[in-house]
Copies of this chain bind each other. A is one copy, B any other.
Amino acid sequence: MKRRKFITAAAGGVAASALAAPAIAQAPTVRWRITTSWPKSLDTIYGSVELIAKRVAGLTEGKFEIRVFAAGEIVPGLQVLDAVQNRTVEAGHSYSAFYFGKRPAYAFDGGLAFGLNTRQTNAWMYYGGGLELVREVFKKDGVITLPCGSVGVQMGGFYKKEINTVDDLKGLKMRIGGLGGRILAKLGAIPQQIPPGDLYPALERGTIDAAEFIGPHDDEKLGLHKVTKYYYTPGWWEGSAQNSMLVNLAAWEALPPAFKEAFEVACNEQGLLAVAKYDVVNPPALNRLAASGLQIKQFPRPVLDAAYQAAFELFDELAAQDADFKKIYTAWKAFLEESNLWFRVAEFSLDSYRLSKPLPK
């Protein structure tokens, strides 16, 4: 649509073409490749990276050309950070908590269990000192991170059996990665790493008992509701799942200033738009899943309490082991505490009232 607008306006407006022509004719071109952790079927997340490429092209009159690649086209989805660090590509779009094994502090660039929600994450990142803190860590690997889209709170996944007590988690073979898996392991579950495309047969055959992926819009495509009975909420393992654009630091520093601004502003824009799109496509998908017979259930409070305690125990353990984690955790927790106070008072106060009411006919 942007592209069409561009062409129409350039063809139609005399002033426009007079202005646009000189810059296009003279400025040299920069070409970047962005690899991603996403298959193209994740239209919302993968699509947000395509929108960034389009926006940057529009802002630079086509002189900053970006090509976007799905997981596996250049490197596998979980090797994005390495590919950026090695400058196999100039940049990669990913979820920083995937790289928690490399440096635990990378989790703060993604999202933590029971942590900052989407709006709180934006506040912390841009004005609360969060971005400076996580960038200090990425710099050690020659990478700069830019916040670049959010998924919001995800669902808690598909289950063959009900989760009524903490005991129901014991021995539960569940597909869940990263820190969420580490927390569930503390409660007796057996976290599994399985690619999304293999989840349907694994659940059908009973190789696993449960699987979490993202939210209704993405989950529905995997068809997991056909081989499970229960769809739990909330996905407490991230208060917000922020995606990031990881950029090779040398490539970043070589960019002309206006191109840096174009790239940065396009990422910031997706911080607004990517979750807005999810918030439009998730509700009808959730309705369809519920209509299919899948039961939407809430984790019982004692289960959440056990997970809450295990989560903060894990954070304390990681802080004791890793200086970067400790430094950021201290700042993050102080911000979370003050921010929660404010959200309790205003935003949550109104949301909890109005969401308790049916709309008048």
Contact = CB atoms under 8 A, between A and B. Distances in A.
Main SS at interface, chain A: helix
Given A128-B280, A359-B336, A257 B23 contact: no
A122 B272 contact: yes
Contacts of A117: 347, 350-351
Interface residues of A, number: 104
A26 interface: yes
A104 interface: no
Contacts of A283: 338-339, 341-342
Given A18-B28, A342-B282, A355-B343, A59 B258 contact: yes
A20 B256 contact: yes
Contacts of A30: 19
A272 to B, nearest CB: 4
Contact of A345 (B26, B28, B281, B286): B286
Interface of A: 2, 5-6, 9-10, 13, 15-16, 18-20, 22-23, 26-28, 30, 55, 58-61, 114, 117-120, 122-128, 152-155, 215-216, 233-236, 239, 253-262, 265-266, 268-269, 271-273, 275-277, 279-284, 286-287, 296, 298, 301, 304, 308-309, 312, 333, 336-355, 357, 359-360
